[in-house]
Structure 1
């Protein structure tokens, strides 16, 4: 789909699109208000699986953005949705924090260290050698290996931190088993988001700041794609890839009607 005027529903990334370092980006509050007032279906997507949707809604509110928790779709929620479809009422050994643990509990999952159906690795700032060892042994015994998102590093004021993808690589090296990754750039996350808001790819757009996750997954899911230059990617970054977004914008302020 190549025309913005055909868009009836929106998916948008969070960091680098709506916020940057806990500060709202220009036009973000106005765009969200515009969608709310028009009754436009939308979801704010994030690969971050640490926080629950309620937590993220509160964090966004502190940044000056009003996003109800039902309008937030995380890789943790997408992972729980996927596992519920795969093995309803299943069990999992989880390395992660409240976001993924809460999502799996609400999906009817049991957390166990005894013969789980799945080993699920999500984002945490407290990776433990003991938990990683346990995950490796459970996978060796037949548990299926799931990762919420592929990001190898995460940001911090002091520099990059090892993230989910880095820990998953360690487990893969030890087991010889590659995980199934639910979050971006897997278009599975977008399809589950579309299902949540009852939207269709033919008339839905994706706003993102990363060519290698937001845009490629949006293209593969059949969405209208918009890259904003307020986050990771700039004009030179676009040239590195063999695919292109449908639109390149300086920021979401360009989507605010009347501006």
Structure 2
């Protein structure tokens, strides 16, 4: 079956650059989400951000004019907690992160501890503690498995880029010689866990994203139809630089409302 013949029944969509930009809804985004809900299409909003809980993110989206239930938001923290639960149910972790990560681990049945944890789990935080990083280095050296929510090296702030999970992970790797396993995009693991969450199949699911190096490549590797929108990180002229291509390029999510 060619891509043009695929029937799309379920949708995954990135958040920043696709639905919102700097706290404001991108034109067409509220209508796109409303169409998904009105037609009862299974969907999830994906984000590599592990700082916030789905409840937090729902409130932020609602402020921008996009109304979604908590259960329709899938973060790298939730995907990481699900992955750890599948690997070692009821295990233990030393976590560096904020409520999005610690709540996800707790709800997955994990014990948070500094004493001989099964895993060191690194996520995003607004203020990385050198003491916490030092503790992580020592625990990884002592045999804890090293997991990261996502590989993003920087995150946005009003003052400019901030060091993010990938940058801090590089410090821990340099100090321990141990590389982490990254669960979030571009690992297709995050997409597969999202598909399982909504009981969807890759052949009938589309991914909408604004980044070639995370959204599109992970969507391709997970077997999804991929829509690249040009309202975020990627310009049309940059698409040709990559050795892979999205299924379809659209100006914005507004162009997808009629396809739901």
Q: TM-score range by the shorter chain?
A: over 0.9
SS of aligned partner of 2:237: helix
Structure-1 separation of matches of 2:161 and 2:235: 20
* 1:53-92 superposed matches below 5 A: 53-92=54-93
Contact 1:209 1:230 in 2 (8 A): yes
- The answer as to 2:14 corresponding to 1:13 is yes
Structure-2 separation of matches of 1:204 and 1:256: 15
Contact 2:96 2:121 in 1 (8 A): yes
Structure-1 separation of matches of 2:39 and 2:219: 23
Deviation of the 1:130 alpha carbon: 0.5
SS of aligned partner of 1:89: coil
Contact 1:184 1:217 in 2 (8 A): yes
> Runs of 4 or more off by more than 4 Å in structure 1?
none
Contact 1:139 1:145 in 2 (8 A): yes
1:39-85 alpha-carbon deviations (Å, 9 max, x no partner): 10000000000000000000000010001100000000000000000
Unaligned runs of 5+ in 2: none
- So what's the TM-score if we normalise by structure 2? 0.98
Deviation of the 1:4 alpha carbon: 6.8
* RMSD of aligned Cα (Å): 1.0
Contact 1:11 1:42 in 2 (8 A): yes
SS of aligned partner of 1:145: strand
SS of aligned partner of 1:239: helix
SS of aligned partner of 1:93: strand
* 1:86-125 superposed matches below 5 A: 86-125=87-126
1:11-41 alpha-carbon deviations (Å, 9 max, x no partner): 0000000000000001111111111011100
